[in-house]
Structure 1
C-alpha cells in the first residue's frame, strides 16, 4: 500500500468515489476583517486535517495558521486584521484557552493570561485586535464573562451565573456588550442583556413567559457603524425565527415583519444601510437584501440547494457557501465567480435528494431520500438520523450519505420533531418524552418507506452520530423488531451517567429537555435512556466513540457496552483518540469504512 498526495492507493487501484468525497480539499466561507477586508480567515482540510488558514486577498497568499494532530476549527479574525485568535483544547475535549497569532505569521501566544482553561462560551474582539470579551463555562463556576483590555492587566469579570450564557457581540466602538443568557432556567430559549464594559446593565430584552410558551431571542450583531446603538436580533414571536432591530439606547424595536414562511437569519451590510437575509424553508435556503430606506426585500439569485453561510462585502457583493445533495460545496459570489477553489482532487458528485412528506403523530414529517441512480426497490435502506437535536438535514452535500448510496443503499433522513426549520412548535415539541418523540416520527417514515416499496423491511439500518447515535441505540432497544442493524457514532448510551459526566452547557440543556436532573425526574431519564432497553436489543450493533468526548463521554458508552457483553449480544466497538468526532480525514474515512464493512458482514443477503 502506498500513499500519494493524500490518496489511498492499493496495487494501483483507483480510489473509490466515496473516499474521494472525503479527501477532496474543501473550504469554509471565509471570514474577513471589518477594517481590513482584504484579510480573511477560513478552514480547510487541504493537509488531511481541518485547520485554520489566513488569506491575503490583495496578494493571493494563503498561509496555514494552525497545525495540531486533531485539527482546529475555532478561530476568529480581529476587526483590524492584525490578529487571529484560535481555541486550543486538548485532543478534542473542547476544554482549553484562547491563543492568538499575528496575521502575517509568527509565534502563538496565550491571548488572555490569567484565565484558567474552560469550555468556550463566545468571543467578541475589539477593533484593536487585543481588547476582547471572553465567555467561559466550567462545572464549578457556571458561565462567566470577562473583559480583557489587551494592556497586560488582569481580565475583569463582568458577568457570572450558574445557568448557561454566552457572548453575543461587542459594539463597533466597544462601549456595549450583548450577551445571551438563560438565567430563567430554560436552556432552549435565551434572553438578552446589554452591558457596559464595567458590567453594569444598559438594557434587557426577555421573551420568556414560563410554562410551555417560552420564546427565544438571539444576538445577530451590532450595527457596523461607530456610535450606532442598534442591535440586530432574532426572535420567535410569530412561531419562527425572524430578525428585528433593537435600539438598546432608546428601547425602540423595529420589527421587519418579513413575509417569508420559513426561519430567517440576517447580518448587516457593511455600511449599515441594509441586511443580508438568509431564508431557510423545507430543507433549502435562499438569499435576499433588505433595504432600510425602501423597507423591502430584493431576492439575490442563488441555485436551488442550501446556503450554509453568507456575508456581504464592502463593495456590495455577497459571498456564500452553497451546495446541494448532488453538487459539492463551493464558495461563490454574486459577481459570478468562485471565491475559493482549492487545488487538487475534485469531489465527485452524488445523486439528488427527493422530498417525502409523511403524516405522523405530531403532524407532517419531512424526510429526504437518496437512492442509487436507476435503482428499483425494495432496497437495503439506511435511516441516517441527524444530531443536535435542534438541527435539521437539508438539501446539501454530505459525504457520509453519499457513501451509502455508492454501495447500493437507499438513504432516508428524517427531520423529526425537535428539528429546526419547521417552526418553533415543531422544535419545542421535544420535551419530557425525549428520544421517544423523535422515534415515533422515524417509525412513521419507516412505515412509509416499506409500504412504498423503497425499503426492504429485512434490511433496515438505523444509524446516526451524536444525538442521532443516541436515537439509534434508543431505537434498537424500544423498536427491536423494526431494525436489522444499529450503527451509532459518539452516542448517548446511558443518559444518567452522560448527564453527570458531560460539559455544563449540555447539563443545562438536558435539564430543560427532561424537566430537571436525574435526581429530580428519575423516571424521565430512565424512560429516555438507551441503557434501560439494552436487554431488548436484537440487532447487531456497532458503536464508535471518542475517548476525549465531553458531549457524549466515554464512561457512559462503556456502561452500555458492558451490558451488551454480559448478554453475549452481537456488537463491535471502535474507540479513537479524539473528542466528539474527528477533524482528521484519514480517521473519518476509517470510521466510514468500518461502518460499511459492519453492514456488509451483518446485513442479510437479498
Structure 2
C-alpha cells in the first residue's frame, strides 16, 4: 500500500470545523447534529488485541475522546483506562506476550518518524522501549517472552535495518539493506526471527528470510528466483508452541494469496487444502492445532476453521458483509470486527453478542451497496454502487469515491464518508480498479509502468455504465479520493477533463517526481518497482503518470486537502501543483492541516468532509 496508512483505521475522506468537538468533550446536544456527523462522533472501537500469555489483558483503539487513542482493558474485572493521549492520536502499538507492557510508537504530529515507548499495563509513566535506537520509520516489531524485542526500522540514509534489543544491553544490528525489509514475527522460544525483504528490487513481491538473533541465516524462501513470474510472500506468524519451527506464510503461486506452512528447520512446505475463490489468509489458533482462515471474495469476507490434523475446513458463522479483523481466543471462540455498508462496525463473538459496548449514541445506519460488473479494457470490473434514499429515482449527482492503496479494495463495509454523500442526495460509486486486491494477482499487478492511467481506464468504464444506467447525472459527476485515490482524482481531472464537474483530492500525489524525492525511502522503493526505475531512469513513464503534466488541462473546480507533516504524499509537491493552478486562475481551494497522512481527530475529519460537501454543492450545476 504505497501511499496509504495500513490497518483498520477508517480512511474516510478527512474532515471538521474549528467549533466541532466530540460529545465527550462537552459539545452541544448531539441530537441536534445531522446523521452524517453522528456517524463520525459515535464511539467506535477497533478489534481488541490480547496478550498471548495473559489473554484477559487486552488493548484496543477507540475514538471515544474525539481522537483515536489506545485503551487498556482488563477483561477479568472490566476495568478500562486510556493509555495514550496525544493531539494527533495514536494507532501503532501492541502488548508484550506476558501482558505486562503496552508498546506504542511515538512520532511527531503524524510524520511517522519516531521511536517505540512502553507503559506498564496497570498504568504508570512511559519509558523508552528501545533505548539506544535513534528515531526512524517503523518497519515491524516482534516482542519475545524473555524481554527480547526485534525492531525493524528505516531511514533515508540507512535503508532498512533490523535490531535485536535485550534488557540492559545495547541494541545489536542483525540486518541491513538499501531495499525494504520488515520484521514479520519472532518464534515462541525467541530463537528465530522471520523478515520480509525485497533485496531483489521488486518492492511489490517480498521474499522471506529466517535469522537467528545473532544474524545467522537459517532458511530462505524466494518465489522470484527464476524471473519468469513476479510472486510475493508474506509472514503470517510462527506456531504458538514452544520449540515449534513451523512458520505460517502466504504465497501467490496459484495466482492469488493463500496460506501454507513452512517448517524452517526441516525445510518442508505443507500446502493446505483450502478450496475457496478469492484471496485467503490465516492465523494460528492459540494451541497450534488449527488455523483461523480469512477469506475475501468480491468485496465480502468470511471466516473458516481449518483443522490441521483432519485437513478439514468448517465455516465460522458470521453475518454477510466484511470481517476486517479477527482472532481466536484460548477457549476456541472467535472474536471479529464486522460491518456492512448499511450497518456500523462492532466487535462480535461466536459465543454470541457484542464483545465490548462503549457508552454514547450509536452511529446511524446507511444504504446497502449494489454489486456492479462492467466489462473494461482489462477484464470485468467490480464496483459498488449506492443510491440515496428519499431523493427520487435519479439520475443523481454522483460521487466516484476512489480508494487508496492502490493495493487495497473497497468492500461491503461501513464508511462514514460515503454515507454522508448519500444523506445529501448523491449516489456513490466505488470502483475496484486494476491494482485492487481481492481479484487475483494479475489484477493487482496490472498497473505497472502505466501507473494511474490503467486505473482511470477502469473508472471511465464504470462511469459510462453509471450514466447509461440512469444512476448518475453526467453533468454532476464528482471525482474524489484520498491518498492514492487523491492522486487518481488529480490525474483524472487532467486526463479526462470533460468527464468531471468537480474534483476533491485529499493527501494526493500531485507532482510525482517531487513526491518521489521527498517521500519516505520505503515508498521510493515501491515507486521504482511501479515505474521500472527512478524518474531519471524512466522520465517518460513518470511524466505520463504525474498529475502535474496535465494540470493546465484541468477544467473542474478542485478542492485539495493536505497534511503539512505527510511523509507519504509530502506537502512540497502539492504546493507545486497548486502554484500551477493559481497561475492560470483555475477555480480551486486548498486546506492545509497540521498532521500527517490523514487525521485521527474526529473533529478534523468532520471539518474536512464539511468543506468537501460545501465545495461540491457550491460548484455543481443545479
Alignment partner, residue 336 of structure 1: 352
1:600 and 2:617 correspond:
yes
Match of 2:66 among 42, 48, 51: 48
Quickly say closer, same or farther: Cα 1:549–1:4, change in 2 above 3 A.
Answer: closer
Deviations along 1:237-280, one digit per CA (max 9) or x if unpaired, are 00000000000001110000310001001000000000000000
CA contact (8 A) 1:461 1:484 kept: yes
Alignment partner, residue 260 of structure 2: 244
1:294 and 2:310 correspond:
yes
Alignment partner, residue 257 of structure 1: 273
Match of 1:73 among 80, 91, 94: 91
Match of 1:35 among 37, 42, 53: 53
Map 1:183-198 onto structure 2 (within 5 A). Answer: 183-198=199-214
Map 1:274-285 onto structure 2 (within 5 A). Answer: 274-285=290-301
How high is the TM-score relative to the length of structure 2? Answer: 0.96
Deviations along 1:216-249, one digit per CA (max 9) or x if unpaired, are 0000000000000000000000000000000000
Match of 1:397 among 393, 414, 428: 414
Q: Classify the secondary structure of the residue corresponding to 1:558.
A: helix
Match of 1:406 among 406, 413, 423: 423
How high is the TM-score relative to the length of structure 1? Answer: 0.98
Quickly say closer, same or farther: Cα 1:3–1:471, change in 2 above 3 A.
Answer: closer
Q: Cα RMSD between the aligned structures?
A: 1.3
Match of 1:586 among 603, 606, 609: 603
Map 1:354-369 onto structure 2 (within 5 A). Answer: 354-369=370-385
Alignment partner, residue 44 of structure 2: 26
Between the aligned partners of 1:294 and 1:554, the Cα distance in structure 2 is 55
CA contact (8 A) 1:2 1:8 kept: no
Alignment partner, residue 90 of structure 1: 108
Give unpaired runs (5+ residues) of structure 2.
1-18
Quickly say closer, same or farther: Cα 1:7–1:65, change in 2 above 3 A.
Answer: closer
1:378 and 2:380 correspond:
no
* Corresponding pairs, count: 603
Alignment partner, residue 139 of structure 1: 156
Q: Classify the secondary structure of the residue corresponding to 2:393.
A: coil
Give unpaired runs (5+ residues) of structure 1.
none
CA contact (8 A) 2:30 2:38 kept: no
Between the aligned partners of 1:439 and 1:50, the Cα distance in structure 2 is 33
Shift of 1:3: 6.5
Alignment partner, residue 422 of structure 1: 439
1:218 and 2:204 correspond:
no
Deviations along 1:319-377, one digit per CA (max 9) or x if unpaired, are 00000000000000000121011111100000100000000000000000111125411
CA contact (8 A) 1:8 1:15 kept: no
Between the aligned partners of 1:12 and 1:35, the Cα distance in structure 2 is 41
Deviations along 1:477-526, one digit per CA (max 9) or x if unpaired, are 00000000100000000000000000001001100000000110011110
Between the aligned partners of 2:58 and 2:464, the Cα distance in structure 1 is 48
Between the aligned partners of 1:271 and 1:371, the Cα distance in structure 2 is 46
Quickly say closer, same or farther: Cα 1:8–1:516, change in 2 above 3 A.
Answer: farther
Q: Classify the secondary structure of the residue corresponding to 1:63.
A: strand
By relative contact order (CA 8 Å, sep 6+), the higher-ranking structure is 2
Between the aligned partners of 2:527 and 2:443, the Cα distance in structure 1 is 18
CA contact (8 A) 1:209 1:215 kept: no
Quickly say closer, same or farther: Cα 1:10–1:221, change in 2 above 3 A.
Answer: closer
